[in-house]
Amino acid sequence: MTEPTTQSEHPATPEEPEPVPHLPVRPPVPPMLAKPVKAMPKQDGTLFYEPKWDGFRCIVFRDGEEVYLGSRKERPFTRYFPELIEAVRAELPERCVVDGEIVLPMGSQLDFDALQQRIHPAKSRVQMLSERTPAQFVAFDLLALGDESLMELPFAERRARLEGLFPEKGGSIRLTPVTTSDAQAAEWFDTFEGAGLDGIIVKPGDQPYVPDKRTMFKVKHERTADVVVCGYREHKSGPVVGSLLLGLYGDDGRLHHVGVAASFPMKRRAELVEEVKPYIAELSEHPWGHWAEQAAANIGQPAAGPATGGQRVPGAVSRWNAKKDLSFIPLRPELVMEVAYDQMEGDRFRHTAQFRRWRPDRTPESCTYEQLERPVSYNLDDILAR
């Protein structure tokens, strides 16, 4: 699930429908969350293991023809996924509340970049994308059925009730596989990443559904890479480092923006300003000096997407907040750092990278895409067929 930890904010619109009024569990409901752990928890007789889906966390509320898609941020997804509204009406019970993940399969894998494109203010574009790149919903918990709230029941009972809602083969509403074997979960952890999944969720089977509490566990992949520090953005609180902009060299010899490192204590943010100050450069002399022009030519693409000409550069405007300034302070591309990351999304880090250490022993030119580990391919349909 991405706890679209990725879960990005999306703009509210005046067209959002009112939440369904007559269910025993009504929106907004903040979803139950998972805390990260380094190793797979061993089976203690109560645990359930599920794939960690890479999409938008969503709770579906259905009362007859009324359908409401609630997000983790408690703002509705309803207007962005009209194809799921119809799928819910066709494939789920008349009155139910189901927790799950909105995902977008492209071929045999999930495509988070394409899923992000679905959050768009223009109704005509939403409709066009719903037909061109239809999403699916993967269910993994049941909060209410008919007039009965199930939130106080232990997960083992909720899961059994959820399984009873699904035929052998699903359509656009799918049921996540689950296992009680930690050995099977470890195998899934290694193999499912090739279909675009990013880890394992571990759920105690004896616990109720607790909104907004980290009562589950998540195990995610962690790898390291050496990257070039190419600039920084200031923190919202003042002239200290908010995020470091990271780059890797491609086969074309150009330096591509691959993501950011941003999780620093405030004291460390101030120290970083002093550490990088000697490397401040003029934007016109920077490999990404043309970022503003390219971003302007790339309107409608993700904020940090590949710009015109095939070079990935930082975006000029956030796709989630048009008023947010994403300009940066350029640094000469001479500093190398080691970062930890969980997975790639195309040619960029899927999530914020974590600083590990400076690498004065590495040259910037040695920081290439070739060092990155790529998971073995795995077919998404084979996972959902379980």
Residue 124 is predicted with a pLDDT of: 94
Both tokens of 153, joined, read 């029941």
**What is the spatial distance between Cα 29 and Cα 41, in angstroms, rounded to a whole number?**
28
**What is the spatial distance between Cα 270 and Cα 331, in angstroms, rounded to a whole number?**
16
pTM, whole model, 2 decimals? Answer: 0.74
Residue 140 is predicted with a pLDDT of: 97
Nearest to 68 by CA among 5, 1, 144, 132: 144
Nearest to 367 by CA among 224, 170, 173: 224
Per-residue pLDDT of the chain (386 residues; tens, 9 = 90+): 443 333 333 444 444 556 777 899 999 999 999 999 989 999 999 999 999 998 999 999 999 999 999 998 767 899 999 999 999 999 999 999 999 999 999 888 888 888 988 988 899 999 999 999 999 999 999 999 999 999 999 999 999 999 999 876 668 999 999 999 999 999 999 888 878 788 999 999 999 999 999 999 999 888 899 999 999 999 988 889 999 999 999 998 999 999 999 989 999 999 999 999 999 998 888 998 876 555 545 444 444 444 435 676 775 444 444 444 557 899 999 999 999 988 887 788 888 999 999 998 899 999 999 888 776 667 777 777 76
Nearest to 184 by CA among 175, 174, 192: 192
Residue of 35, 38, 52, 277 marked active site: 52
Nearest to 193 by CA among 340, 4, 380: 380
Q: Which fold has domain 33-220?
A: D-amino Acid Aminotransferase; Chain A, domain 1 (3.30.470)
Does an H or E element contain 278, and which? Answer: none
For the chain, give every domain's residue range.
33-220, 223-371
**What is the spatial distance between Cα 230 and Cα 234, in angstroms, rounded to a whole number?**
14
- 223-371 has the same fold as 33-220: no
Strand partners, 301: none
Class of the 223-371 domain?
A: mainly beta
Residue 18 is predicted with a pLDDT of: 60
Contact call for residues 56 and 112 (beta carbons, < 8 A)? no
95-103 and 223-235 beta bridge pairing:
unpaired
Catalytic, 218? Answer: no
Residue 386 is predicted with a pLDDT of: 61
Both tokens of 11, joined, read 């703009």
Residue 329's CB: how many other CB atoms inside 10 A? 18
| Alpha helices in 192-320, H assignment, sequence order | 266-276, 291-297
**What is the spatial distance between Cα 283 and Cα 275, in angstroms, rounded to a whole number?**
19
Strand partners, 102: 56, 137
**What is the spatial distance between Cα 382 and Cα 105, in angstroms, rounded to a whole number?**
13
| Residue 96 neighbours by CB under 8 Å, 6+ apart | 60, 62, 142, 144, 145, 146, 165
Residue 172 is predicted with a pLDDT of: 94
Both tokens of 17, joined, read 């429908």
> Nearest 5°: CA angle at 266, between 262 and 272?
65
Full DSSP string of 163-222: HTT--SS-SSEEE---BS-HHHHHHHHHHGGGGT---EEEEETT----TT-EEEEEE---
**Strands of the sheet with 223-235, listed across from one edge:** 255-261, 238-249, 223-235, 329-341, 354-358
